Structure 1
């Protein structure tokens, strides 16, 4: 089973590389404002997870610079479990005025990003 998952993961990564979406172009001052707003966002993800790839593609399409962390490795795995409440990816950590929100599910994350930055 491990070998099958590993092979499928590599296929997903290859297809994502080949068909990488085009990054949205904005005026420099507008992009700087968005970059400032995205400093408080962190995406916990697995590199070959299809749902994580879906979220990363949406992030690229919108031209967002969101920090991504591999949730398979410590200490990120522990942070996600302890602070977020469960070991599930993709997970977007949203910090706003000292309040932290953990957003799970790829559809919800993409919807949030579309509403906030589109």
Structure 2
């Protein structure tokens, strides 16, 4: 069993930097909004938090969409930060990423899993015509 874990850890260590570099090279240009409009979007983003792993391909897909939409959403590392991982499991019920925590004005939270569902939510809420 430890041989299998060692193999996959080695794969992550080797491929991780390559994947992060590839994500950086493919960064989309963000939408440009008027300063007042961007400030309003930034305020709305304060109620959102993305639980993610840095080298997860599905998390990268969500981060690319966040860049495309110029969204300043807090990113929480659920892989290396035990507190964020515990919050994800306690709130969402499972340690699965990506997960978008959506909080409302009453302090209630909705936990949205799956990159396609997260991107659809972000597009419907923030995409400009």
Deviation, structure 1 residue 14: 0.8
**Segments of 4+ moved more than 6 angstroms:** none
1:21-47 deviation digits (Å, cap 9, x = unpaired): 112110001001111111000000001
- Aligned partner of 1:108 in structure 2 is 117
- Aligned partner of 1:70 in structure 2 is 77
**What is the aligned-residue RMSD (CA, Å)?**
0.9
Give the count of matched residue pairs: 118
Unaligned runs of 5+ in 1: none
Determine which structure has more spread, i.e. the larger CA radius of gyration: 2
Deviation, structure 1 residue 6: 2.1
CA distance in 2, matches of 1:8, 1:88: 20
Unaligned runs of 5+ in 2: 1-6
